[in-house]
Structure 1
């Protein structure tokens, strides 16, 4: 089993090149960035000597469990995409974590992020799920991220509804391409509750084939500037807003005419009859 350990760090070419005359302990204490991507690592050993670590690259390995990171209270960026991780766990000590990359693993539930008040980006695209399974969300985790999370990537995870995500009030970028989202009304309601949303990608979902899909989302997402990789300019948005206002005005006028007619010509069965 290949383990990421202090000994492995000490034998790395980066350490041998940069350590200079200082001791290994001094070098590890000063270390802020550590890159051990694509090294066939299966386990993380005790790295508590790296107390000032801020960025850790461990993508493209064989890691099955997030562990032994409690020491990394200064960590801001964690890259663990394309491993064999099945559960988000043991991250509660990373109070300064800003970006978390976990795409391409085998995670079934988005959980274990309670208390990470500084987390701004969460990348969970392309989980390797069993046939018929979809990525699920723990409401407690979503609520804990409601004020901080700005970027969420959940593309290609068989997701068919996003009602639970409505609490993420600070989202600016939402990527959910290649899922099974179909309900346009649901998308309108949820996205309208994200007042800072500026970029969204829903390409490859069944909803994209529905009539007026793009128009409907543009009119409810007032700050959106990019939808499915296509820019939204002010002129097209204003045209759609005017069109929607006109449509609603006509609908209201029709309702008022029917209501007035019912008041003037009331019938017991509630039907308005026209005189010949």
Structure 2
């Protein structure tokens, strides 16, 4: 049985190693979520890394198609993509290195509405009218610092993060930007929960972070300008094999 712990007051340092990743233990499962909010603080510490992923959630299958990942954020060749329920949204931007950003995603299955925020400023609102599904599938694997496929019961790592991740939280409802800026714990997944398996990932004190102290109540990173609205295209990404693989976005 893997040892688990809480990440209260800590942050994770990722070096881009595919065999080291943080995940939920096998006893903490996500239920099917038709509305949710996910927030994570990230600091990319290597400007030259152009392909990376802060987190991904996937359910067990034999598929090697990356668009089948249930939920993920991916930067590939400095372009940000979001994946949810088999849909791909291209955001056309990257995050500057060497500073902390709070990235939040919300999904409202009743409205088929997916939204992404950076530091409480909305990046995109996308209506996924072509999706036949409204809810995330339950009982998958949530991994921090990597894009992965849950293939035949074990994760296949496809892309890795280099930098600092802090304060991953997940709620079973849509939160507004003011709520996103706070240091509240998630009611589905919480950074403070004692169910994290660190898998060899280094961690350190995060008291200097807005949500790193026990008494922290707000986190309001600098705001950014609002880009134009995104478009949704059909799945374009494929990944092959069951090894620690590479992948390509086909233009």
- What TM-score results when the alignment is normalised by the length of structure 2? 0.23
Greater helix proportion: 1
Q: Highest relative contact order (Cα 8 Å, sep 6+), 1 or 2? A: 2
User: Which is greater in Rg?
Assistant: 1
Q: Which has the higher strand share?
A: 2
